[in-house]
Amino acid sequence: MKRISLTQYLVEEQRQNNTIPAELRLLIEVVARACKTISHAVGKGALGEVMGSAETENVQGEVQKKLDIISNEILLEANEWGGHLAAMASEEMETIHPIPNRYPKGEYLLLFDPLDGSSNIDVNVSIGTIFSVLKAAEGMGEPTEQDFLQPGSQQVAAGYAVYGPQTVLVLTTGNGVNCFTLDREMGSWVLTQRNMQIPAETREFAINASNARHWFPPVTRYVNELLAGDAGPRGSNFNMRWIASMVADVHRILNRGGVFMYPADAREPGKPGKLRLMYEANPMAFIVEQAGGAATNGARRIMDVQPEKLHQRVPVFLGSKSEVERVTSYHQA
């Protein structure tokens, strides 16, 4: 089988479909290279002195792991000097990171969750990196937080890496979804799945059921119907999976269908769900839609939500279209 590298894929895509300008191609390659470095650090585990807590808190008040901070640094350093970016924003940093004046500036904005699934780092369960690319407004001066507050529909690229038994990179530039596997010996990304499509029908769902007592009625109704199995209104048995790494749950759904939910619940009204719109929900929604699935916040398409804050949280329902449409319709009933 002829191996197609990430570089070759991007160059051909640029030539044939004109969807990837040269600067964006460079950006994606730099992010992919950073993910390779993160994968290496993650893979060292206890041998790399990278495990455990850094004893600091991020802007969300969550205790940071050493690998959260290392991954953030890797992405910042890799992307600073290439000339393709105006600024970056990260789940792990309070405010935006403009490109330092000593480097040339480009027209893109990069957002990332450097290491998603933090609770799984120390227990050797799959974790990953999620990223989203926006275009800076024309004639933008010194970048501000405001420049990042664009709805997900404005994304020009999004992707995630999973550091699991294999390291994979899943990418969209708005022309379908492709998966690349890291060849660890060669150090290169090889195209291994073209035009991924989420199966429309599914018998699998993902939700943290320990929060069931806090759920709002539409979620309770939907999950109860699934749990009722073939004797219930759905007339079919459903299986449940919850990895607690969104990257791994979404990757499973891209490959064999399913629905992923992190709803808002009654615990903290000011905190609608756990996942962040800009670093997690938007890029995953872009990928899922590009693979024929759907992603909503229960009321509307996630990518239509106008962001108000960089670190804003949003309820998430994503995956196979028919299931996402059903649970969304229960919110409107």
Q: Which of 70, 79, 124, 71 is nearest to 97 (CA)?
A: 79
Smallest separation (angstroms) from Mg ion to the CB of 279: 7
**Secondary structure of 247-315 in the HEC alphabet?**
HHHHHHHHHHCCEEEECCECCCCCCCCCCEHHHHHHHHHHHHHHCCCEEECCCCEHHHCCCCCCCCECC
Which C-beta is closer to ligand AHM: that of 147 or that of 280?
280
Asked if residue 280 binds Mg ion (CB under 5 A), the reply is: no
Smallest separation (angstroms) from ligand AHM to the CB of 122: 12
By a kind-dependent CB cut-off of 5 to 8 A, residue 274 interacts, out of Mg ion, ligand AHM, none, with: ligand AHM
Is residue 110 within 8 A of residue 282, CB to CB? The reply is no
Binder of Mg ion out of 9, 116, 248, 265 (CB under 5 A): 116
Region class of 252: left (phi > 0), else alpha (psi between -120 and 50), else beta? alpha
What angle (nearest 5°) sits at the alpha carbon of residue 73, between those of residues 68 and 79? 130
Smallest separation (angstroms) from ligand AHM to the CB of 333: 26
Residues that bind ligand AHM (CB under 6 A): 62, 113, 116-119, 208, 244-246, 262, 274
Smallest separation (angstroms) from ligand AHM to the CB of 22: 32
Residues 6+ apart with CB under 8 A from 16: none
Q: Which of 321, 63, 33 is nearest to 197 (CA)?
A: 321
Contacts with Mg ion in 132-161 (CB under 5 A)? Answer: none
Neighbours of 64 (CB within 10 A): 18
Smallest separation (angstroms) from ligand AHM to the CB of 317: 13
What angle (nearest 5°) sits at the alpha carbon of residue 254, between those of residues 174 and 38? 80
Strand ranges, E, within the chain: 53-57, 63-65, 85-90, 97-98, 108-116, 127-135, 157-163, 167-172, 177-183, 188-193, 204-206, 239-240, 259-262, 294-296, 316-319
Which C-beta is closer to Mg ion: that of 116 or that of 147?
116
Binder of Mg ion out of 9, 10, 25, 113 (CB under 5 A): 113
By a kind-dependent CB cut-off of 5 to 8 A, residue 159 interacts, out of ligand AHM, Mg ion, none, with: none
By a kind-dependent CB cut-off of 5 to 8 A, residue 244 interacts, out of Mg ion, ligand AHM, none, with: ligand AHM
Which residue stretch of 116-124, 195-203, 266-274, 295-303 sits at the interface with Mg ion (rule: CB under 5 A)? 116-124
User: Distance between CA atoms of 100 and 71, rounded to whole angstroms?
Assistant: 19
Which C-beta is closer to ligand AHM: that of 117 or that of 283?
117
Q: Using the Cα atoms of residue 113, residue 94, residue 301 and residue 314 in order, give the sign of their dihedral.
A: positive
Which C-beta is closer to Mg ion: that of 257 or that of 272?
272
Smallest separation (angstroms) from ligand AHM to the CB of 221: 21
Which C-beta is closer to Mg ion: that of 113 or that of 265?
113
By a kind-dependent CB cut-off of 5 to 8 A, residue 208 interacts, out of Mg ion, ligand AHM, none, with: ligand AHM
What angle (nearest 5°) sits at the alpha carbon of residue 35, between those of residues 194 and 93? 125
By a kind-dependent CB cut-off of 5 to 8 A, residue 246 interacts, out of ligand AHM, Mg ion, none, with: ligand AHM
Element (DSSP H or E) covering residue 332: helix 321-332
Which C-beta is closer to ligand AHM: that of 91 or that of 289?
91
Which C-beta is closer to ligand AHM: that of 136 or that of 170?
170
Which C-beta is closer to ligand AHM: that of 76 or that of 191?
76
**Residue whose beta carbon is closest to ligand AHM:** 246
Please work out the total of residues on this chain that contact Mg ion, with binding judged by CB under 5 A. 2
Binding site for Mg ion (CB under 5 A): 113, 116
